[in-house]
Structure 1
Amino acid sequence: DAAADVHLDHHALWINPDNSDHMILGSDGGVSISWDRSDNWYQFRNLPLGQFYEIGVDMRDPYHVCGGLQDNGSWCAPSDTRSNQGIRTRDWYNVGSGDGFFTVMHPSNTSLMFAESQGGNLIRVNLETMERTRMRPIGRPDADDEMPELRWNWDTPVVLSSHDESTLYIGSNLLFRSSDLGQSFTAISGDLTWSVDRDTLSIMGVPGGSAQMSRNDGQSSYGNLTAIAESPLNEAVIYTGADDGRVHVTQDSGETWTDITDRLEGLPRYAYVTRIVASHGQDGEVFAAFDNHRNDDFNSYLYHSENFGQDWRRIGSGLPASSLNALAQHPDNAELLFVGNEVGVYVSADAGVTWVQMGSGLPTVPVDDIKIHPRENDLIIGTHGRGVWIIDDISPLEHLSTNVMVANAHIFPIRRATSFNPYTPQGWTPGIFAAPNPPSGARIRYHLSSDVEELELRVTDATGKLVRKLDAQVASGVHEVIWDLRLQLGSGEESAGGGLGPRVLPGAYIVELVTGADIVQSEVSVRMDPRVEIGRRELMARHQVMIDSYRIGSAVGLAERALEEATNQLVAAGELVAGRDNEGLTSEIQQVREKLAALNEELDDSSGGGRVWRGIETSGAMPTADALYQIEESWAKVPSLTEGVNAIIGDVESVLRQVYAPIAMPDLPNELPIPSKGR
């Protein structure tokens, strides 16, 4: 075996035509390279590759994304590590083996999930102990004491009920239901497939019973369920679809089933059912997607029904000729749909009537699954080749409308923001891929119907007090600004000395977008890191200490800037006087410069309390005694030093008036406000 230590299932091999010892091998495990004709191999670990079939998300905070991969089992990773290292390979953890497929997370018990490998081999995983319970149903004897013939798909569908957190569905050629999280299963249907002898069918024009490179396309069984959908409006309504194209619905929890396959006009017979979505928009509404590429037909087959599948209408204007792999409906906007095909993701804002391709930097890649996180409103995309992609907060898509488009300006709803301290370990990992974490702070999106000359984007507290002004684009279209939750002193001179300050307290804030005479507003909620335990009184006291530190630091910054400006003016004046043979004035300039330097040194020695807020902010603990002492010391000294700065500026002015004519007199630094804790 020339690649004994490389992941099997090889797909591509390149041999350097100029050096046959140099080889590159592509497999289900990624890309590996050899420089000694396969004696040793090195796997590239800086390539974001992954062949996901199915994905799932949980409700942890931050939430985790799980998924099943081709011959690599099932894995999970956090959507945000809250670390400066990003999301690395080491952040992923294995929850299942074999070829991975559906990963289904419990909505309230975040230590419990389901994963499966090929052929419906379902396991329940305890994420605290990593124990795995195998639970693929085997059925029960019928009236003739015969065990049912169960056929399981390579990618067997698994669904956890949205009405009952203990109810689980899994499909072979029969549909099974468990009311106790898989401890026991009951068949609630007969055979929901055509049960066709597949040797009588053709693949790409070749009869199934004839010689093929991979008999029956390599599938071990045929005539099994590939899609299950429970209505979010009525738990008794369930749809199923099969790999042989058969579609059923029950409206009484499986007591009776109706075959609705023949109602799908224009659908080729035996087209593979990839997805069924029972809509939350209205009772009886359902969408279904099909794949007929096995019959050399790459058209997109997408159907819509409003009466439980009794009548269907084919939809999909704008979709290319590409098989449909994934279909998802937004949990809050029933008109907003997404499909995944062999080239990417398409979106519809009118219940599937028209479609456009989503860009967002997604490469051209097969998309096999799509999820929308119900809390964070993120769009999560599972690709078969390029791993998992996340589009953070799709509120602009959710709320896009004609009214929004024609309004002069519009702010989309802003997702709750979390104030936290990132984990900042020392880490040097060259050659290892790391996905970036989403930016921390509040993600503000707004739309302008046309270009504007002036625009102001600002954040205020609930009383209208200005907290921060943000830079923003003035061109038409949708724009995004990340507010890092930091405040800044008011717009007066005091703001120039300190830059950005501490993060704001938890609470509600108002975002205002001002364009000319128009003002639009939206609210953003800021919360404390839920991992940090601190009382509200302590939190406010801690914040006030940081504000005191920030304000005195701002005063020091203003004073030092004034001294620097005055020093530069004296240097320029000294250069002019040097050619006048006026030793008295030269000496006076030097004496004032020495006073400026001495005062600057005193300011620097007294400035420690103006910097400690940064250290206080790095944890949720109360300030230390030393930090409080430094702040008090700065407040005791800096106000009088600021008065000294104002006084010495007068000395500078006296010297400069001896050097410059009135018309050429440079602008002196403005008089500094004297800092006061009571302000």
Structure 2
Amino acid sequence: MRGYAHVIKEDPIDPQLLYLGTELGLSMSVDGGAHWAQYRGGHLPTVAVRDLAVQPRDSDLVIATHGRGIWIVDDITPLRKLTPELASQDAAFVSARPAQQRIEAQGGWANGAAAFVGDNPKDGAVVTYYQRTRHLFGKLKIEVLDASGAVIDELPASTRRGLNRVVWTMHRSPPHVPPAVQVAFAGTQGPRVPPGTYRIRMVRGDKTYDTQLTVGLDRRVKWTVADRKAQYDAAMKVYTLFNDESALFARISGLRAQVAEAGKGRAEKDPLHKKLADFDGKLDELRRRIVATKEGGAITGEERLREHTDQLYGALLSWEGPPSAYQIDNIAAMRAELSDIDAGFAALTARELPALNSLLQKEGLKTLTVPTPGADGQPDAGAHGGGGDIAGGRSELQNLRLWN
């Protein structure tokens, strides 16, 4: 340990777990004081620790410093589980408290350097794991699986030895959104998963480790788990709608690219060029029913199915209570509109492609083919610190050294 001692506290749950505040920081012992480790999590500075307290409801360690305010180590439950038997393993997940889906909020403003406030705890679910030595060879990844066994997210994993933490946002990866002239802001995020039990899997070289994570509602909300499930199901219907719009958009764009290649270098008065241009125009009309082609939105530009989908998706994500009847009806209406565009594409290609391909074959050119539908894809998926000089803050257990 470093520095002379100011305060020592025994954990209220595990008497073998001790916290020691010294003139030069915080030290901890998991074996009743036989061995001590310097706490190096987050950005806790080298500062005198004058008092300590354990918050019983959330199992947070509150640190009172001299000159740097109040610091909080979120969830010390993993320290209570860090037994000598666990520490002897190459790697292991360490139990933590159940994750609480706090109400998501947006807004606020920048206060500048004059606002002496600390950070709030992470909004996501914290996954804690232990590594006896630094991971050097082979892959290291952490995956989140739902009740069906499907991988719904992959988390960045630290290779450092000791206790490590990674935060899962509890959101799915974002949907595929068709490209257009305007940004679909709501479509940049995935829905937040409903409460339940999720499997966390760590692949470390040729070994696999598993644990379970329980996700619960914010204690302050009035809606039920069933309400959240209804909201999630509605959001996933729009999520799938985004993916299906992207798949159809890609098929139309792929066929238009073939048409452009077939007409390359031909004179405008050429009969085949005219037929190709006419066919391309009809394809573009279908494309314009899916996405806006003018900037400015509803006021100075235009909105199409993609833009309306984004508005509905954003409304569903901004409220985690049950969806309204209007929103449910709107989902059905947008699905019907996309089905109509899809049917129009199928009818157009069935009606005009055979004749076009016959003309192309006569001139020894490559025929046009309708791109096959792709699987609904998703794009690849995104330390607690103190505030100002005297603000204090929150800290994490990551990289706690428990050896010489």
TM-score calculated relative to the size of structure 2: 0.71
Relative CO higher for 1 or 2, CA cutoff 8 Å, sep ≥ 6?
Answer: 2
Which of residues 332, 336, 358 is equivalent to 1:632?
332
Within 5 Å, which residues of 2 pair with 1:502-651? 502-515=191-204, 518-564=207-253, 566-567=255-256, 573=261, 577-578=264-265, 583-584=270-271, 586-604=273-291, 605-607=304-306, 608-609=308-309, 611-644=311-344
| CA–CA separation in structure 1 for the residues paired with 2:28 and 2:229 | 45
Which of residues 115, 129, 144 is equivalent to 1:459?
144
Within 5 Å, which residues of 2 pair with 1:188-203? none
Report how far residue 594 of structure 1 moved: 2.5
**Do residues 404 (structure 1) and 86 (structure 2) align?**
yes
Report how far residue 518 of structure 1 moved: 3.4
Judging changes above 3 Å, is the alpha-carbon distance between structure 1 residues 526 and 420 closer, same or farther for their aligned structure 2 residues?
same
Q: Which runs of 5+ in 2 are unaligned?
A: 179-186, 292-303, 377-404
**Do residues 374 (structure 1) and 56 (structure 2) align?**
yes
| CA–CA separation in structure 2 for the residues paired with 1:417 and 1:441 | 8
**Do residues 354 (structure 1) and 35 (structure 2) align?**
yes
Asked whether the equivalents of residues 502 and 613 of structure 1 are also in contact (C-alpha less than 8 Å), the reply is no
Asked whether the equivalents of residues 455 and 513 of structure 1 are also in contact (C-alpha less than 8 Å), the reply is yes
**Do residues 482 (structure 1) and 164 (structure 2) align?**
no
Report how far residue 649 of structure 1 moved: 8.0
Asked whether the equivalents of residues 343 and 366 of structure 1 are also in contact (C-alpha less than 8 Å), the reply is yes
Report how far residue 386 of structure 1 moved: 0.8
| CA–CA separation in structure 1 for the residues paired with 2:346 and 2:153 | 29
| CA–CA separation in structure 2 for the residues paired with 1:644 and 1:480 | 51
Asked whether the equivalents of residues 646 and 671 of structure 1 are also in contact (C-alpha less than 8 Å), the reply is no
TM-score calculated relative to the size of structure 1: 0.44
Q: What is the aligned residue count?
A: 346
Report how far residue 368 of structure 1 moved: 0.7
Asked whether the equivalents of residues 266 and 273 of structure 2 are also in contact (C-alpha less than 8 Å), the reply is no
Report how far residue 580 of structure 1 moved: 8.6
**Cross-structure match for 2:124:** 441
Which of residues 2, 12, 21 is equivalent to 1:340?
21
Report how far residue 484 of structure 1 moved: 1.3
Within 5 Å, which residues of 2 pair with 1:149-160? none
Report how far residue 505 of structure 1 moved: 1.8
Q: Which has the larger Rg?
A: 1
Judging changes above 3 Å, is the alpha-carbon distance between structure 1 residues 591 and 455 closer, same or farther for their aligned structure 2 residues?
farther
Judging changes above 3 Å, is the alpha-carbon distance between structure 1 residues 617 and 539 closer, same or farther for their aligned structure 2 residues?
same
Q: Which runs of 5+ in 1 are unaligned?
A: 1-318, 675-679
| CA–CA separation in structure 2 for the residues paired with 1:508 and 1:578 | 60
Asked whether the equivalents of residues 255 and 369 of structure 2 are also in contact (C-alpha less than 8 Å), the reply is no
Judging changes above 3 Å, is the alpha-carbon distance between structure 1 residues 539 and 401 closer, same or farther for their aligned structure 2 residues?
closer
Asked whether the equivalents of residues 348 and 356 of structure 1 are also in contact (C-alpha less than 8 Å), the reply is yes
| CA–CA separation in structure 2 for the residues paired with 1:391 and 1:649 | 62
| CA–CA separation in structure 2 for the residues paired with 1:660 and 1:381 | 80
| CA–CA separation in structure 1 for the residues paired with 2:33 and 2:19 | 8
**Do residues 470 (structure 1) and 170 (structure 2) align?**
no
Report how far residue 550 of structure 1 moved: 2.1
Instruction: State, as a whole percentage, how many aligned pairs show the same letter.
Output: 23
1:332-379 per-residue CA deviation (whole Å, 9 max, x = no partner) reads: 332222211122112223222222322222112111112233332322
Judging changes above 3 Å, is the alpha-carbon distance between structure 1 residues 568 and 335 closer, same or farther for their aligned structure 2 residues?
farther
Letter in 1 for 2:314: R
| CA–CA separation in structure 1 for the residues paired with 2:368 and 2:114 | 56
| CA–CA separation in structure 2 for the residues paired with 1:654 and 1:501 | 41
Letter in 2 for 1:483: W
Judging changes above 3 Å, is the alpha-carbon distance between structure 1 residues 548 and 660 closer, same or farther for their aligned structure 2 residues?
farther
Judging changes above 3 Å, is the alpha-carbon distance between structure 1 residues 595 and 400 closer, same or farther for their aligned structure 2 residues?
farther
More strand by share: 1
| CA–CA separation in structure 1 for the residues paired with 2:204 and 2:368 | 37
Letter in 2 for 1:367: V
Asked whether the equivalents of residues 551 and 610 of structure 1 are also in contact (C-alpha less than 8 Å), the reply is no
Report how far residue 595 of structure 1 moved: 3.0
Judging changes above 3 Å, is the alpha-carbon distance between structure 1 residues 539 and 330 closer, same or farther for their aligned structure 2 residues?
same
Within 5 Å, which residues of 2 pair with 1:275-294? none
Judging changes above 3 Å, is the alpha-carbon distance between structure 1 residues 401 and 430 closer, same or farther for their aligned structure 2 residues?
same
Asked whether the equivalents of residues 609 and 633 of structure 1 are also in contact (C-alpha less than 8 Å), the reply is no
Within 5 Å, which residues of 2 pair with 1:407-446? 407-433=89-115, 434-446=117-129
Judging changes above 3 Å, is the alpha-carbon distance between structure 1 residues 642 and 406 closer, same or farther for their aligned structure 2 residues?
farther
More helix by share: 2
Letter in 2 for 1:510: R
Q: Secondary structure at the match of 1:577?
A: coil
Letter in 2 for 1:521: D
